[in-house]
């Protein structure tokens, strides 16, 4: 896949997003319109209006719904410039055009922003095959890949392979509602080879309240966005056990370290510095102090593990599933398959607690297996 992407990348660098022909203007489409998708459209639309290298108009593909009023969601967005359902009260910019037709939304774009729930990306990509410009560049803002025995299915890789285009990622400590309110935030763009493409994405997303830093490490950046949820579950256990600040800080640190080691195990190209970026330490902190993975894990520990995650999720999340629980099960299988479980005591213990094999208090017992990463 690495080579494949490189090839696409080199092509597109000559023809498309990175084109320096006089008068060439990039066209941006945002694929997805939940709260994060709407915020992404807002950030992008601010910049396309202000930067001469972009067409003003930003297409936003919206999964069409009929509102209680009887109006179509796309019509409501285009009439009010607000996503009245998923980000009410926030003006997206008049140059954001909601479009319920996926093919139409992407056909002219050479910069595609993917920001759908992760479970939909499969169908979206399949229906987009042959429909996107061959010189297009993509970026994925989607957190939550599957980690299979044969390796993690990076969503950026999936997009890249399905559509035959290069795909970067943008991850970070990005609670959508805070960015919508223009509270200062930052993010990390992970790119594969071409720094100029990365700079274009940085330009497209940066605003006075949103700072974006490029890192040449797609895999590290994207994996951070998934693995952090495992750390958040561990942090939730600590909260539920009332173990205090030292313990929580220690567990977060172990988690960050295992994230790093796990990423490097899977992709030798992953850089230590990535974990100092917004996608690393900052997103881990946000997720371990807020977020639903932490919250449900806290409830699980407060109940002494006697009510299952399934039960708590049903009660607390209206049927949604916790991503961290799924991810840690997948990570556990990968580690077991490779005989490396004992090098990842935190990840292993989180799974064993989630699956009911160990009590929540086990979260610190593994600490006896210390010095696993000797200095």
The residue within the footprint of its own copies, chosen from 41, 281, 301, 354 (CB under 8 A), is: 281
Look at the alpha carbons of 241, 247, 249, 250 in this order and tell me if their dihedral is positive or negative.
negative
Is 35 annotated as ligand-binding?
yes
Q: How far apart are the first and last CA of the chain?
A: 33
Q: DSSP assignment, residue 274? A: G
Q: Is residue 282 a contact residue for its own copies (CB under 8 A)?
A: yes
DSSP 117-135: -GGGHHHHHHHHTTTS-TT
C-alpha distance from residue 170 to each of 51, 59, 189 (Å) = 20, 19, 4
Site for its own copies in 97-116 (CB under 8 A): none
Give the nearest distance from C-beta 143 to its own copies in angstroms: 15
Distance between CA atoms of 76 and 82, rounded to whole angstroms?
8
Is 293 annotated as ligand-binding?
yes
Give the nearest distance from C-beta 149 to its own copies in angstroms: 28
Give whichever of 308 and 367 is closer to its own copies, judged by the CB atom.
367
Q: Is residue 207 a contact residue for its own copies (CB under 8 A)?
A: no
Cβ neighbour number for residue 234 with a 10 Å cutoff: 28
Site for its own copies in 216-235 (CB under 8 A): 216
**Contact partners, residue 275, CB within 8 Å, separation at least 6:** 220, 224, 256, 259, 260, 281
Q: Is residue 272 a contact residue for its own copies (CB under 8 A)?
A: yes
Letters for 289-328 (x = contact with its own copies by CB under 8 A, - = none) are xx--------------------------------------
Q: Is residue 185 a contact residue for its own copies (CB under 8 A)?
A: yes
**Residue among 42, 59, 228, 248 flagged as catalytic:** 228
Distance between CA atoms of 44 and 95, rounded to whole angstroms?
10
* 228 catalytically annotated: yes
DSSP 309-345: HHHHHHHHSTTPPPHHHHHHHHHHHHHHHHT-GGG-H
Which residues are annotated binding-site positions for NAD(+)? 32-37, 63, 120, 176, 292, 321, 323
Q: Which parts of this chain interact with its own copies (CB under 8 A)?
A: 172-175, 178-179, 181, 183-186, 208-209, 211, 213-216, 243-250, 252-253, 256-257, 260, 272-273, 275-278, 281-283, 285-286, 289-290, 364, 367-368, 370-371, 375
List residues with catalytic annotation.
Answer: 228
Which residues are annotated binding-site positions for substrate? 143, 292-293
């Amino acid at each position: 896949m690495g080579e494949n992407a490189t090839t696409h990348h080199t092509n597109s660098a000559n023809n498309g997003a990175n084109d320096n022909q006089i008068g060439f203007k990039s066209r941006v489409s945002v694929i997805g319109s939940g709260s994060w998708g709407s915020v992404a459209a807002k950030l992008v639309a601010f910049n396309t209006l202000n930067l001469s290298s972009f067409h003003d108009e930003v297409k936003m593909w919206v999964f069409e719904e009929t509102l209680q009023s009887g109006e179509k969601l796309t019509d409501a967005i285009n009439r009010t410039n607000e996503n009245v359902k998923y980000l009410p009260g926030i003006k997206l910019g008049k140059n954001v055009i909601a479009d319920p037709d996926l093919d139409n939304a992407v056909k002219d774009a050479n910069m595609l922003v993917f920001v759908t729930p992760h479970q939909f990306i499969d169908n979206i990509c399949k229906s987009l095959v042959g429909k996107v410009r061959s010189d297009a560049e993509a970026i994925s803002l989607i957190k939550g890949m599957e980690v299979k025995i044969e390796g993690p299915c990076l969503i950026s890789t999936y997009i890249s392979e399905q559509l035959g285009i290069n795909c970067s990622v943008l991850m970070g400590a990005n609670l959508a509602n805070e960015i919508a309110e223009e509270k200062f935030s930052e993010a990390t763009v992970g790119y594969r080879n071409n720094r100029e493409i990365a700079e274009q994405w940085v330009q497209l997303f940066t605003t006075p309240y949103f700072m974006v830093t490029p890192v040449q490490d797609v895999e590290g950046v994207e994996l951070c966005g998934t693995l952090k949820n495992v750390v958040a579950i561990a942090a939730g256990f600590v909260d539920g056990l009332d173990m205090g600040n030292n313990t929580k800080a220690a567990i977060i640190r172990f988690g960050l370290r295992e994230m790093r080691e796990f990423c490097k195990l899977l992709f030798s190209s992953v850089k230590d510095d990535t974990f100092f970026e917004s996608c690393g330490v900052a997103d881990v902190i946000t997720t371990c102090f807020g977020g639903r993975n932490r919250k449900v894990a806290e409830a699980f520990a407060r109940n002494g593990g006697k009510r299952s995650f399934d039960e708590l999720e049903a009660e607390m999340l209206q049927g949604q599933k916790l991503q961290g629980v799924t991810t840690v099960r997948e990570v556990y299988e990968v580690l077991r398959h490779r005989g490396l479980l004992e090098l990842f005591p935190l990840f292993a213990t989180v799974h064993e607690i989630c699956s009911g094999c160990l009590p929540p208090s086990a979260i610190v017992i593994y600490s006896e297996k210390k010095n696993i990463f000797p200095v």
